[in-house]
Amino acid sequence: MTRYYNGYEQHLVALDCIVFGFDEGELKLLVLKRKFEPAKGEWSLMGGFLGKSESLDEAACRILSQLTGLSNIYMKQLLVFSDVARDPGARTISVAYYALIKIDENDRLLAETYGAEWVPIKQLPPLIFDHSQMVEKALEALRRRTSREPIGFELLPVKFTLPQLQSLYESICGELLDKRNFRKQILETGLLVKLDEKEKESSKKGAFLYKFDHNKYNSYVEKGFLFQLKVKSGHIIKGNNSLQV
């Protein structure tokens, strides 16, 4: 096939996936102990190599599904890392992808089956090579994208409560948000459907479940509507029954 472009260098093209999940009110990352040399046994992202007859998007899906059994996952290309010496095993370039996973929906044990582990993002161990940089960049991208597109829902179960959603946004942007303002804003989009069920795990009163209306969102997008969540300057919420006279 390579009739043209003779004489140019060929390269190993790796892929690494930054896999985000949200569980127990925390943003988490899926990491695993590397099973081969070099750096065998150290913590790393999920990775693999680009094959002959697949696009990068296809390869990213393949790798994620081989290593976790998951499919039909939100994935996005992030950035290529290409320092000449980034991987001591060989000269490789690595295309980083990030993925958003609904942890609840999938068997939480699945990860362990494959030797992977969900680690809170605040307690990440050191990762091999430039993987920590990749995580850093992925977090920035996630923050940016979250405020422009309704991708937060990819991290929650199909049915979720508003307190859950708020907590998710707070974990992503690293700031507390005002409950009333948050609700007002998110409900104003008209994209959430209130269900008749309540979730009662996290409180006695229970919180109503909602669904995100993908169809409505898509038709809005076609009409030029822009999802925008102003998740900027949150503040510590005070004055909640902390004083009693």
Among 204, 215, 222, 224, interactor with DNA by CB under 7 A: 204
Among 1, 109, 236, 243, interactor with its own copies by CB under 8 A: 1
> Is residue 178 a contact residue for DNA (CB under 7 A)?
yes
Using CA atoms, how far residue 199 sits from 163, 202, 209, 225, 230, in Å, is 11, 8, 6, 31, 27
Token code pair at residue 186: 């998110």
Contact between 51 and 173 under an 8 Å Cβ cutoff? The reply is no
> Is residue 134 a contact residue for its own copies (CB under 8 A)?
no
For 72-89, letters b (16+ CB in 10 Å) and e give ebebbebeebeeeebbee
If 0-12 CB within 10 Å is exposed, 13-18 middle and 19+ buried, where does residue 47 land? buried
In eight-state DSSP terms, residue 96 is E
- The amino acid sitting at 33 is K
> 179-188 and 162-173 are packed helices; what angle lies between their axes, rounded to 10 degrees?
100
> Is residue 183 a contact residue for DNA (CB under 7 A)?
yes
Torsion of CA 213, 216, 217, 223, to 10 degrees: -170
Among 55, 65, 113, 181, interactor with DNA by CB under 7 A: 181
> Is residue 185 a contact residue for DNA (CB under 7 A)?
yes
Using CB under 8 A, which residues numbered 67 to 106 contact its own copies? 77, 79-80, 82-84, 89-93, 95
List the single partner that 10 binds among DNA, its own copies, none, CB under 5 to 8 Å by kind. its own copies
- SS3 per-residue string spanning 45-56: CEEEECCCCCCH
List the single partner that 233 binds among its own copies, DNA, none, CB under 5 to 8 Å by kind. DNA
Q: What's the closest the beta carbon of residue 243 comes to DNA, in angstroms?
A: 9
Q: Which stretch binds DNA (CB under 7 A): 37-45, 67-75, 137-145, 232-240?
A: 232-240
> Is residue 241 a contact residue for DNA (CB under 7 A)?
yes
In whole angstroms, what is the distance from residue 132 CA to residue 227 CA?
30
Among 113, 203, 218, 219, interactor with DNA by CB under 7 A: 203
> Is residue 12 a contact residue for its own copies (CB under 8 A)?
yes
> Is residue 200 a contact residue for DNA (CB under 7 A)?
yes
Using CB under 7 A, which residues numbered 104 to 163 contact DNA? 161-163
Q: What's the closest the beta carbon of residue 133 comes to its own copies, in angstroms?
A: 13
What are the residues binding its own copies (CB under 8 A)? 1-5, 8-13, 36-38, 49-57, 77, 79-80, 82-84, 89-93, 95
